[in-house]
Structure 1
């Protein structure tokens, strides 16, 4: 990149999507179950999979600079993160910064919608802390498409890039984009980041970058990149299960001059906002989905999408409302699903494979959830809980759900575990002996991530109106902290997006 000596770049990861309606906080053990690594271990682990840190490493090294891997704390989506985890993160980053003997920039891999038990804007607070370490040195952040990009994040980061695909398949590419721009900024190239935030949230189950209204917005952004008008853009669709006052959907555009950046951010924000009524899923009742699965003429398997209990969206994952309804109807169809229930797992291990017992399964964590079943079940299999993603998203990534068991209740097979992970990937069932293509009905607890893999063989996809912390029916929640004048609630009919402003150090 230059004839001078290589620059030293601190790299870190803090990735957890918080759902404030999930009452169970995530502690350090939740991060250890996915990734808690430091230094060379962080570097080596991420080199094996197409994740954002891998892309960051490559961009830094492609620019002729040196990676200083610090700490990776990555957990599955869940409730608020325990404050002690955040403090541990900051302490260890500070130690690595001191040990580096001097660094030239910081590249962070974040989710962007993380809350702790004491703070609503953990990513903004983290970037603010990084700014105290970096001074006027560049800071970049790669984020999830569903990040809640706040004013504090925009003030303290020079570059923010987010996923441009949903289902997410561009983890590596997003990390590379953010770090590559950071390296160019470090080399003195002109760069300006403009942003505007919309008072808007929509359910993730209602849109995709593969087709429809949101794809049209993405296509507009991609055209601006292809014709070299922009260096980068992201149309963040904030995940909606954050009952906090700083929530919003932010559009970012990055260009070599400030006017182009601001004009393009305004254009993309207008395109995103005017399609707001098109981002909602058509929901059907559980009974309607079961009726389809029972119809011999309907292609199988029928996927019943229980997005409300999606662990990917931060819900607990303990609902069995569909199994409960199947048993109430005495339905003859063969159904497969999964649920969080450590107590049932322990009982299954005591009962043993092939033996029968009365089990009470489901709805033990989410308040007021009706989806529990009590019936005689047979233990089909027992497992250690380790599996690898099928992909394409995160192909080969390792997940651990804790000890697991498959219990059969007649024609219903339920994989119970400590904590469902990667809930849109078929291996969460396949690895444990529930082959989706052999069932009439499969319950998938995801919003859109499932489409990348399940979409290849699904006979019919049904988004169900189910209860839970990740419900698509956003008006079913009791909001306490949502700001006034917010879509889809009380936004004035004549609202127009605010003009984009230049952020970061160029503000």
Structure 2
């Protein structure tokens, strides 16, 4: 038995000015062939689980590519072609296919990156079963449904079940090949744009939907996935989906998909996040810090999460709104970062550790339709310069080496700024500790993050305040110019009805 295993992950924010060339898919581009195998073997990705499952069966495996990039703008045409062509070139002679995909990829030549790839794989291997592991924020399309035999998505956000999702998808595919199961897919996609901050599985409407999915699995469905979708994509339907895999019972699968989709639609208003003004959020953080100090006498930092400029949704990591608002309200003892500004990093490196400098930081990549802003003028002392690398301690991407690009630390008095060459999610305390900054000693931690920082930073913090800088990942859909979006869709259209049909 020969199994094709590959990874192609990108969540595309079509409004993001951050480019996505081939080099963005990894430290220096994708890993190919044996390097793709080594990059995933022993790790916690869905591709890692595919490799383990195939090897357990004694299968011959081929791993043409492992390509994963941070969310950003549309994938360059040449990059998309290179990754897909590598997968297709490895297809001849394979008996099965296991693909670790995101589900929300938009390339310059296609709004349905995964659907187009699956269609080509199916054409190349019409008899080979195909299993797909998807991110919880995938935008499911008809092509994806038509050209996959098994689809399973993450059930957690932050995503800590990537390996388990791959394990689940592989188990169902191998059961199909052995004649132990007959996977049948059903799908529903209500016309609902969900806010990323409302897609945590811990509670709320998404938590209830995920619980309903787990209950359906316990009652006999092979797999039930609730995909929140990724709404910051100007495609026809960047909407929430329910995908059900049953064992040969199409009617049962359809009934489960319909029931959970109806539950989601009834809860639709709870899937919308409405941000208070940034100044109110900063004032609240200042008051929380005072209250904590008064009642508890502890020195834990207050987290200010700048979810309007979150790189894991395509943010530039260079909007300075939150820092400027915090300084205007007199906050001190701040640590802010990672701020992405390659020009500033180069200038700080040239100045050297110990040098006192004045330079512009950030505000250099405006979202579509936004007026350009002047950089934040920072005056301070260069405290550290590093290669920006560290090892993630977990729980997300545990053990993987992270690359922020070269990094520099600038102390401006009221705040310590960690400035990097690459956009980077604060997965880990290593973001700061690797450059000699102890985040536990800050009064306020200004992080460009929505969710992934929480498992690591919430335990060391006194409180958390969500802050919307109205950047390229802001929660207000009015900030973005949708041209391809199928209408009506909730919440942009308040009088939206849904009769169970798909939006194609």
TM-score band by shorter chain is over 0.9
- Provide the rounded CA distance (Å) in 1 between the counterparts of 2:27 and 2:19: 14
Which residue of structure 1 aligns with residue 18 of structure 2? 24
**1:372 aligns with one of 357, 371, 375:** 375
Alignment map for 1:8-407 (pairs within 5 Å): 8-33=2-27, 36-98=30-92, 102-188=93-179, 189-227=181-219, 229-256=220-247, 257-281=249-273, 283-295=275-287, 296-298=290-292, 300-367=300-367, 368=371, 370=373, 372-407=375-410
Q: What TM-score do the two structures reach when normalised by structure 2? A: 0.92
SS in 2 for 1:97: coil
Please tell me whether residue 470 in structure 1 is matched to residue 473 in structure 2. yes
Tell me if the contact between 2:12 and 2:71 (Cα under 8 Å) persists in the aligned partners. Answer: yes
Report the secondary structure of 1:287's partner residue.
helix
Note the C-alpha offset of 1:246.
Answer: 3.8
Cα shift at 1:241? 0.5
Secondary structure at 1:32 match in 2: coil
Rounded to whole Å, the distance in 2 between the matches of 1:493 and 1:103 is 45
**Residues 369 and 467, structure 1, Cα contact 8 Å, conserved in 2:** no
Is contact 1:340-1:416 (8 Å) kept? yes
Partner of 2:460: 457
CA offset digits 1:404-433 (Å, max 9, x no partner): 101111121111111122334333233223
Give how far 1:180 is off: 1.5
Distance 1:435 1:279, change over 3 A: farther
Q: Give yes or no for contact 2:338–2:426 (8 Å, CA) kept in 1.
A: no
Range moving further from structure 2, 161-170 or 441-450:
441-450
1:165–1:373: structure 2 CA closer, same or farther, 3 Å change rule? same
Show CA shifts across 1:368-422 (max 9, x none): 3648311312111001011222321111221212111011111211111111223
Q: Deviation at 1:274?
A: 1.6
Q: Is the 8 A contact 2:489 2:496 kept in 1?
A: no
C-alpha contact 1:424 1:446 (8 A) present in aligned 2: no
Report how far residue 293 of structure 1 moved.
4.0
Structure 1 260/369 Cα, relative in aligned 2: closer, same or farther at 3 Å? farther
Aligned ranges 1:401-440 → 2 under 5 Å? 401-440=404-443
Q: Distance in 1 between matches of 2:173 and 2:150?
A: 7
Cα distance in 2 for partners of 1:184, 1:216 equals: 29
Instruction: After TM superposition, give the deviation of residue 329 of structure 1 in Å.
Output: 3.6
Which string of whole-angstrom CA distances, capped at 9 and with x for unpartnered residues, describes residues 273-320 of structure 1?
Answer: 221211234533333333344342236421111111111011111111
Aligned equivalents of 1:388, 1:281: Cα separation in 2 = 33
Q: Deviations over 1:87-120 (max 9, x none)?
A: 112222233234xxx1101110101101112211
Deviation at 1:28, TM superposition (A): 1.4
SS of structure 1 residue aligned to 2:63: strand
Q: Is the Cα–Cα contact under 8 Å of residues 392 and 427 in structure 2 kept in the other structure? A: no
The gaps in structure 1 that reach 5 residues or longer are 1-6, 501-507
Q: Deviations over 1:13-68 (max 9, x none)?
A: 11111110112321111113276212222112211311110111122233443322
Contact 2:285 2:465 survives alignment (8 Å) = no
Q: 2:29 & 2:266 partners in 1: Cα distance? A: 39
User: Against the structure 1 CA distance between its residues 371 and 443, is the aligned structure 2 distance closer, same or farther, given a 3 Å change threshold?
Assistant: farther
The TM-score, its normalising length taken from structure 1, stands at: 0.92
Matched-pair contact (CA < 8 Å) for 1:389–1:422: no
Task: Please list every run of 5 or more consecutive structure 2 residues that lacks an aligned counterpart in the other structure.
Answer: 294-299
> 2:4 touches 2:62 (CA, 8 Å); kept in 1?
yes
Give the number of aligned pairs.
Answer: 491
Give me the CA root mean square deviation: 2.1
Aligned with 2:337: secondary structure?
strand
In 2, the alpha carbon distance for the partners of 1:134 and 1:268 equals: 33
- SS across alignment from 2:449: coil
Contact 2:16–2:315 (Cα < 8 Å) also in 1: yes
1:297 partner SS: helix
